[in-house]
Structure 1
Amino acid sequence: MLEVAERARSAAADALARTPEQLEALRAAGVVDSGGSGLLLLLDALLHVLDGRPLPACEAGPGALPDVGGVAAETADEGTASCRYEVMYLLDAPDEAVPAFREVWSGLGDSIVVVGGDGTWNCHIHTDDIGAAIEAALDAGRPSRIRVTDLFEEIEEERWVREAAGAAGTVEEPHAHCAVVAVCTGDGIRRIFASLGVHRFVTGGQSMNPSTADLLAAIEDANADEVVLLPNNKNVVAVAEAAAAAASKPARVVVTHGIQEGIAALLDYDPEGSADDNVVAMAASAAHVVGGEVTRAVRDSTSPAGPIAEGDYLGISRDGIRVVAPSVAEAATGLLELLIDVDHHEVVTIIAGEAAHAADTRRITEWIEERHPQLVAEVHPGGQPLYPYLLSVE
């Protein structure tokens, strides 16, 4: 196995450059494409797992994301992920092995998605340790269709494409039979959605609803025969349905009331399927999520959960305001206590907004570990305004 991996790595390097030294020079110059680099990363990771060989050093400094056309590049300490690699694979593993697998992955990176059942799991993570991310699968079962992407190179490549398009006209994106248009805000949320296949983004959410014209323009601009829309807010559903009805191509709406449901829906998105088939599958996936959000009161008021003073933190579910608390962590944990069904839920997903602080996030995850040790907590940087935390359990 080790000899095969060495020969494959050497052949891949030779296909991209005459010598490994030339390959590294081309990489540094940005000439090697992300697909070829991804193959080499995968083979390097295999050699790391089999023989303990070190992975190639990152050209960029720790946590240094390249400038991507106005998208803020922040370090993990500032609330945005800085993991370099995206690792995805299918995992054949018994259901009882998956909680331990998730726990290992929770220490390796972010943007973690592990979904499936009956022995087959679709796994996705952003990490700096490719070898450990793959080795975790070998401990749990058998991985297949492994894909490794250098996110820093991909972001830089996208910047080059944009600059080239500005200098020499537009560059046509790959065609899809069915594209996804999603309403959202926050750089982190857009990155998560993009990694799950979203083609067009429309800025919007609570108190900043997009117009029908905005959504219609995104539908028409998508390079696809058909389109699925994710409104991701109950106030945007009617606008999305109006845009879908006015579109010149088949467009359907998956009724998602929050970002959490949108992420779940995308796990069953098929770019080669029809909009009608995608709506059925994606809506079923979204229905499995129980979501909530934490925000701050801007004025005194009353609620079913008790009186509200300006500055209080509110825990909100589909049923309305469920928790009123003096701190954001208390509001989040109080809401989770109401949302969690210990007999049916396995994972708590926390999407941290621009106002979230690491100390509060740690209090929430520690509360989950203490009160519900059977659950796995996954934290993703979302960067959304107004809501320090978006929460979901499934």
Structure 2
Amino acid sequence: VTATSLDAGALRALMGTFRDALTMHREVLNLLNVYPVPDGDTGSNMAMTADSVVAELDSLDDGTAAEMAQVTVAISHGSLMGARGNSGVILSQVLRGLSGVFADAGAVDGRVLADGLAAASTAAYAAVMRPVEGTILTVVRESAVAAVAAADSGGDLLVVAESARAVGGESLARTPDLLPVLADAGVVDAGGSGFLLLLDAVLTAVDGRPLPDPPELVTPVGAARPDDHGTDRPEGTRYEVMFFLDAPDGAVEGFKEAWAALGDSIVVVGGDGVWNCHVHTDDIGGAVEAGISVGRPHRIRVTDLFEEVEEQAWVRDQISANAEDVGDPVPCAVVAVANGAGIRDIFHSLGVRRVVAGGQSMNPSTADLLAAVEAVPADEVVILPNNGNIIAAATQVDAQTSKTVRVVPTRGITEGFASLLEYDPRGTAEDNLAGMAAAADGVVAGEVTVAVRDSGSDVGDIVEGDHLGLSGGRVRVVAGSAFDATTGLLADLVDDSHEIVTVIAGADAVEATTAAIVSWLEAEHPGIEVEVHEGGQPLYPYFLGVE
């Protein structure tokens, strides 16, 4: 039996079918993933987005599950909140456009499907700051044009759906003609392929035809297998940054303009004060700060596109959040931001009640910090952000809670350690702020890391892979090794007035190098005390503190 229209129940089933299709084709779509800027796996991202939709639909109670308005709201909200990667965000806008038209109509016939696809195309293009043809955008648009033409000619639901699918398939086949990177790799666009599975699911709902089987897995020329990222780094920006942004609708255009100066592949979708945001950039902190300037970013996810290793757990999860013992109630507690098991342990030993994961490249949101503040057994709380990029988010917490919250503007881990020497759990947050801030100001902080791209600095050109010594927000040393960068930075920072140097070794620090740094310090400054701690922090082999 061929359906002439789809009701709310049929639309729910259709979304389940679409999710199943994406799951079946996940690995094939992943193999096609050669987007102009390297991204996460398209098949996985689209499948997880559809999973979120189905979960939202499953949460509807029996009284609303048959109502088109409720089903379409669930589809729109579930896709927005669950969108992963560039392709997932664009898919969420396709579903949002369809849902708006379907909700107004109450049932989906040929005319409604055509109008829905047209709205989906408009929404998808509007979401992308610099639309690229030869991608899912092209396939959606040309499918929509065909659907509208079929509906204008009086076609029913089956005719409209088949027209959209046929022209969509032709459009997908032409994507390599529009995007040279696809032609070079010998593939079609992965996102467009995933969208066609939505049209396949529509046809299954209309006349019961089976979903197409995924083609045999064959690695295309120029494309890498999902688990083989090779050794050659791709061109382009290094990081994919995604987060949800609570911000007024009127602020979003300015936010998008700020992002345009930081990167590309910009997608900002949503409405009614909630936005799903995606950008490729080399400036993670700047991308997050742009969000903080207009609202509240949360559920921040960062992917290293060169390594395709997701590091978003640093922000998303509090360190040992489920097992951390916040201790007995006190008048004033401390919440600190840090990453690395050793650093966490030191903070706890100094009296910190809750450590929120974050730091140099992963910035927790105000919501993450607020959750930690609410968790500690104290009416007054001091936050140690321990990074300049986190101070702004931390300062917003006080207005979101009935507790009294103050922020000691620490910009480094060693400043955070020093501030705790003046912490009094029996005092007020205001009193602690004064003493702790003064102690932090007495520390000269430094950091050593590795350059991720070529650049310039006040002390010379920087080549990717160079070791950098940083202090005071600028590059002080460019060197060929961690030892040279660290000793060069210490030579710049330490003088005869200093008494203590703290060295916090990161996950990438080599024990022999650390020992050599200590020996150098003892030889150059025989009267100075050197403290070494195993911090375990990523990305930064050494944090330094000079007092």
Identity of aligned residues (%): 58
Task: Report the counterpart of residue 371 of structure 1 in structure 2.
Answer: 524
The alpha-carbon distance between structure 1 residues 178 and 306, as it changes in their structure 2 partners (threshold 3 A), is: same
Structure 1: segments with no counterpart, 5+ residues: 1-161
**Residue number among 422, 433, 436 corresponding to 1:268 in the alignment:** 422
Larger RCO (alpha carbons 8 Å, 6+ apart): 1
| Equivalent residue letter for 1:351 | I
Deviations 1:29-56 (A, max 9, x none): xxxxxxxxxxxxxxxxxxxxxxxxxxxx
Decide whether the 8 Å contact of 1:220 with 1:248 is kept in 2: no
Aligned partner letter, 1:226? E
Specify the alignment match of 1:326 in structure 2: 480
Partner of 2:358: 204
Residue 332 of structure 1 deviates from its aligned partner by 0.2
Deviates more, 1:379-388 or 1:368-377: 368-377
User: Is 2:493 the counterpart of 1:348?
Assistant: no
Aligned equivalents of 1:251 and 1:319: distance in 2? 26
**Counterpart-to-counterpart distance in 2, 1:392 and 1:238:** 23
Q: Which residue of 2 aligns with 1:223?
A: 377
- Give 1:374 deviation, angstroms: 1.4
In the alignment, which of 424, 428, 436 is matched to residue 282 of structure 1? 436
Whose radius of gyration is greater, 1 or 2? 2
Residues 265 and 283, structure 1, Cα contact 8 Å, conserved in 2: yes
Partner of 1:389: 542
SS of 1:392's partner is: strand
Task: Tell me by how many angstroms 1:173 deviates.
Answer: 3.4
Instruction: State the alpha-carbon separation in 1 of the partners of residues 384 and 326 from structure 2.
Output: 23
The match for 1:173 is 327
Aligned to 2:445: 291
For 2:435 and 2:360, the matched residues in 1 are separated by 26
Distance in 1 between the 2:544 and 2:516 partners? 14
Partner of 1:359: 512
Deviations 1:318-371, CA, capped at 9 Å, x for gaps: 1400000000000000000110121x2011110000000111101111111111
Pair 1:246-2:400 in alignment: yes
Contact conserved, 1:244 with 1:253, CA < 8 A, in 2?
no
SS in 2 for 1:282: helix
Question: How many angstroms apart in 1 are the aligned matches of 2:448 and 2:363?
Answer: 19
**Residues of 2 paired with 1:247 and 1:385: CA distance?**
32
The code of the aligned residue for 2:546 comes to V
Q: Larger strand proportion, structure 1 or 2?
A: 1
Deviation at 1:181, TM superposition (A): 0.4
Cα deviations by residue, 1:95-140 (Å, 9 ceiling, x for unpaired) = xxxxxxxxxxxxxxxxxxxxxxxxxxxxxxxxxxxxxxxxxxxxxx
Determine helix, strand or coil for the equivalent of 1:224: coil
Structure with a larger share of its residues in helix? 2
Q: Which amino acid aligns with 2:373?
A: I
Cα offset for 1:231?
Answer: 0.3
What is the TM-score of this pair, normalised by structure 1? 0.56
Residue 339 of structure 1 is matched in structure 2 by: 493
Please tell me the residue identity of whatever aligns with 2:348: A
Give 1:246 deviation, angstroms.
1.7
Aligned equivalent of 2:455, options 287, 301, 314: 301
Aligned residues: 227
Aligned to 1:186: 340
Question: What corresponds to 2:262 in structure 1?
Answer: none
Q: State the TM-score, normalizing by the size of structure 2.
A: 0.41
Q: Structure 2 matches for 1:41-190, cutoff 5 A? A: 173-190=327-344
**Residue 387 of structure 2 aligns with which residue?**
233
Cα separation, 2, equivalents of 1:352 and 1:172 = 26
Cα separation, 2, equivalents of 1:240 and 1:222: 16
Q: 1:255 corresponds to which residue? A: 409
Query: Could you tell me which amino acid in structure 2 is paired with residue 388 of structure 1?
Result: P
Are 1:310 and 2:464 counterparts? yes
